A = this chain, B = another copy of it.
Amino acid sequence: MPREHQGPLARLRRGHEELVLRLLRTHGPLSRAELGRLSGLSRTTLYDIVGALVDGGAVVATAPAAAERRRGRPVETLSLHPGAGQAVGIDFARRAVHVAAVNVAHEVVGSASETHPAELDWPERVRLAERLVAGLGGGTLRLGALSGIGVGVVGPVGTPRPGAEGTGGPEGAGGAADRTDLPVLLGKRFGAPVLVDNNTRLAALAEATWGAATGAQDVLYLRLSHGVGGGLVVGGALHRGAYGLSGELGHITAEPDGRRCSCGKDGCLETVASVGAVLRAHGGAADLAAFLAALPHDPAAARVLDEVGTHVGTVLAAVCNALGPEVAVLGGELAAAGPALFDPVERALHAHLMPVSRARGRLRPATLGEAAGALGAIALVLHESPLLDRYPAPDSLE
């Protein structure tokens, strides 16, 4: 071992290298300026560290394509070596399986989806996922380089953590017993660590990594779909809460004397802002597509969305006052309604956000669509896979 790998100076340097590698792994390609801002390292130290990592092959520097160059000197971006690892994300939605693969340079290797009947059993769903994964990137996915499988599922997922009281999340009790051996099943198939989480929470992480809130550290995500759910990213990491029950924005009370919700209590946001609630309140449209198509010339539909948006904005404002996020992202099928929904949401935010906060947070529409769950599962691997924590130290221990 050469001299410069020893002693406290080398340890400090090693810490800086690991910081740079972790930032590239979790954020994807970054310029030197962005790396400097995120790492807090001095310009001199950073250039020195990056130079050594590029020389060693762990990091690659890419000049922008000619068409993308602005005036002046082109800005190089740095990323991890694409061959150093891949991550697969699988989203087991209610009626579809979505899969995607990304390498550690954040390049999409491939993605695929297939719908299925809601009653399809778990072994069949897993077989479907395997088939879709096998076809990714024209069959070029290198399973040997797989750093982890991220998996999104519907409903609460408990994540017991050292230090939290109690030992399990709601998984055992929450009617999800038929999927509890999913990690074991998938781990055996792919020979890589399996990380499971709720797919709406994963969509939040995806939007914070590649979508509407790219680069933001504190993000609130609300999804208006057949159910209403959400997720929080805190300090750049997925937030789960003490019992894996974080992000249940759909079950904040919107109407104190409102309808009974599927969760068992009354007047949840889900009872007024889900796709089903919107169609019920409107009374005319056969489905969401018909409702949205009619929207431009249907004052009744606009009134329904005005009321929904007011409820959504009021709930978002309450959570924003508590959390102070940088970006709030609104997604799900209902977000396709556009300004007819977003305008009343913005008005309610303005009315209920603490005035000093009004100019600070931003509301944005989600950008990743139905791929968000699978992409979030990948982001989870890139953030938390135990294999990647050690990458790419050539002398690290098993």
Contact = CB atoms under 8 A, between A and B. Distances in A.
A207 to B, nearest CB: 15
Interface stretch (A142-150, A155-163, A298-306): A155-163
Interface stretch (A35-43, A49-57, A79-87): A35-43
A317 B263 CA distance: 15
A263 B322 contact: no
Copies in the complex: 2
Interface stretch (A92-100, A189-197, A229-237): A229-237
Contacts of A353: 265
Interface in A89-117: none
Contact of A241 (B242, B246, B324): B324
A317 B241 contact: no
Given A11-B11, A354-B245, A397-B9, A252 B322 contact: yes
A177 B7 CA distance: 45
Contacts of A217: 161, 163-164, 242
Interface string A339-363: 0000000000001111111001100
A244 interface: yes
A182 to B, nearest CB: 20
A40 B162 contact: yes
A314 B257 CA distance: 13
Contact of A314 (B253, B266, B395): B253
A324 B246 contact: yes
Interface in A235-256: 235-237, 239-249, 251-253, 256
A360 B243 contact: yes
Contacts of A240: 324
A355 B239 contact: no
A317 B241 CA distance: 14
A75 to B, nearest CB: 18
A323 B397 contact: no
A162 B355 contact: no
A163 B216 CA distance: 7
A305 to B, nearest CB: 19
A357 B243 contact: yes
A264 B14 CA distance: 50
Given A245-B356, A248-B324, A357-B243, A265 B318 contact: no
A163 B38 contact: yes
A321 B38 contact: no
Contacts of A120: none
Given A5-B6, A244-B324, A253-B352, 5 more contacts: A163-B215, A165-B216, A241-B324, A242-B361, A248-B322
30 contacts: A6-B6, A8-B395, A8-B397, A11-B14, A37-B163, A38-B162, A163-B217, A164-B217, A164-B326, A166-B360, A170-B356, A173-B356, A174-B356, A216-B242, A218-B241, A240-B324, A242-B326, A243-B326, A245-B324, A247-B322, A247-B324, A248-B321, A248-B322, A248-B354, A248-B357, A249-B322, A253-B318, A256-B314, A268-B354, A322-B322
6 tightest CB-CB pairs across the interface, nearest first? A241-B324, A242-B326, A245-B324, A246-B324, A251-B354, A264-B355
Interface of A: 1, 5-9, 11-12, 14, 37-40, 156, 161-166, 170, 173-174, 215-218, 220, 230, 232, 234-237, 239-249, 251-253, 256, 263-266, 268, 314-315, 317-319, 321-326, 351-357, 360-361, 393, 395-397
